[in-house]
Amino acid sequence: MSQQTQTNTFEVEKIRKDFPILNRKVNGYPLVYFDNAATAQTPKQVMDAIVDYYSNYNANIHRGVHSLSQEATDKYEQARIKIQKHFNAEKAHEIIFTSGTTHGINLVASGFSSILKEGDEILVSAMEHHSNIVPWQMLCEKTGAKLKVIPMDQKGELVYSEFEKLISSNTKLVFLNHVSNALGTVNPIKSVIEKAHSVDAAVLIDGAQAAPHIKADVQALDMDFYVVSAHKMCGPTGVGILYGKEAWLEKLPPYQGGGEMIATVSFEKTTYAGLPHKFEAGTPNICGGIAFGAAIDYMNAIGFDEIAAYEHELLEYATNELKKIDGVKIYGEAAEKTAVISFNIEGLHPYDIGTLMDKMGIAVRTGHHCAQPVMDFFKIPGTVRASFSFYNTFHEIDLFIDALKKAKMMLQ
């Protein structure tokens, strides 16, 4: 197979040197890591930030007068400011550190249980991750609010005209992913937010799959809530952020009680700390927050426009090569997509394909991708999902296509 030559000047070989894991072998083959939508790999620069923290200033934050505690506090708060600037939040205290996207969504859902009442309506899209479905179902059970689903079409695009029909003065909340993890669809969040605001509904955008590829501007988009996980952006697991507009964060009650989130405590009455601490009970993932800041620095130094352009070339090349294989069906052919391809081969189970691909060093995800309603829509048990990052290459796509052809031959 002839290898495509990239048309832009993206320095992928230089970038790959930052990722030691990309040099390892799996089952005797060079690793081809195409499971970036599940979690991205970590560059040395982020690992260095982690080692620096534990080697030089590991301490609890916001608590001690000693130097280590102050250094750790400064670095943690600097990370918050980096993240604020990255997403263009107006205020640093609108950035709440969480353990990840799931935590951020649950925090908001839990807060709305004291605001919603019976008869209120919540809209979600048909292409959500379970994290952006289950917390709202739990919220509906508690409050008597009703969950309604915005449908998608066969291409995996949101049916906007149906959204316009569903939204009404009863709609209090709209939840939508910026990018679908199962299909790669980039959703029209700007129009959705504008429409939702016209009926005074709040909008939570799940940015888990968008943040590694698209630099979202929360003020320009007029977001109410945006949630992301660091581990999908070259940062560590167990940390993420919730962006919330100050007015909304002031309105929502605390999520968890404990240290750090209080102003005063007595057995008679406790008063809560201001933002962001009101939502950050207990000792946080201090090192994780700092490393998340380092990951944001790393990705910005490469440039999000450059990353998007390069990944788009990878997506187009892989899509075209995949379509040349007999029996391949791609799920998710939206006009605007990130570098995610979900597919099946006629007559073969995705799990069997994934298992054989692993034997040849290729990491892809198989299954329902925590998006069972998407699989139900297409009437399939699951898909094989290849998801690319800016450190992947055209050569790796060639290896992936060759391995897929071999797997197909072995299974048929």
Min. distance of Cβ 237 from ligand C6P in angstroms? Answer: 7
- Residue at token pair 């048990």: 381
Q: Give the C-alpha distances (Å, rounded to integers) separating 374 from 151, 185, 346, 368, 369.
A: 10, 12, 18, 8, 9
**36 touching ligand C6P, by CB under 6 A:** no
In the complex with ligand C6P, the residue whose CB is nearer, 132 or 389, is 132
Interacting residue with ligand C6P among 43, 100, 111, 254 (CB under 6 A): 100
**229 touching ligand C6P, by CB under 6 A:** yes
Beta strand spans in 250-332 (E): 262-265, 270-272, 328-331
Q: What is the DSSP string of 360-402?
A: TTEE-EEE-TT-HHHHHHHT-S-EEEEE--TT--HHHHHHHHH
Tokens representing 369 are: 């991708």
Quick check: 177 and 127 in contact, CB under 8 A?
Answer: yes
Q: Is 370 a catalytic residue?
A: yes
Please name the helix (run of DSSP H) or strand (run of DSSP E) that holds residue 278, with its range, or none.
Answer: none
Interacting residue with ligand C6P among 4, 102, 125, 143 (CB under 6 A): 102
Three-state DSSP state, 365: strand
Tokens representing 266 are: 């007595």
Three-state DSSP state, 43: coil
Identify which range of 99-107, 108-116, 256-264, 392-400 contacts ligand C6P by CB under 6 A. 99-107
**129 touching ligand C6P, by CB under 6 A:** yes
- Residues of span 173-192 touching ligand C6P by CB under 6 A: 177, 181
Q: Residue type for 13, please? A: E
Interface with ligand C6P: number of residues (CB under 6 A): 17
Identify which range of 140-148, 214-222, 352-360, 363-371 contacts ligand C6P by CB under 6 A. 363-371
**337 touching ligand C6P, by CB under 6 A:** no
The closest residue (CB) to ligand C6P is 181
Interacting residue with ligand C6P among 82, 277, 337, 369 (CB under 6 A): 369
| Number of Cβ within a 10 Å radius of residue 386 | 30
**37 touching ligand C6P, by CB under 6 A:** yes
Reference 76, options 332, 276, 327; nearest CA is 276
Min. distance of Cβ 132 from ligand C6P in angstroms? Answer: 6
**206 touching ligand C6P, by CB under 6 A:** yes
Tell how many helices (H) and how many strands (E) occur in the chain. Answer: 13, 17
Interacting residue with ligand C6P among 101, 143, 171, 389 (CB under 6 A): 101
In the complex with ligand C6P, the residue whose CB is nearer, 101 or 171, is 101
Interacting residue with ligand C6P among 95, 122, 158, 208 (CB under 6 A): 208
How far apart are the C-alpha atoms of 225 and 237, rounded to whole Å?
Answer: 21
Known catalytic residues are: 370
Chain contacts with ligand C6P (rule: CB under 6 A): 37-38, 100-102, 129, 131-132, 177, 181, 206, 208-209, 229, 365, 369-370
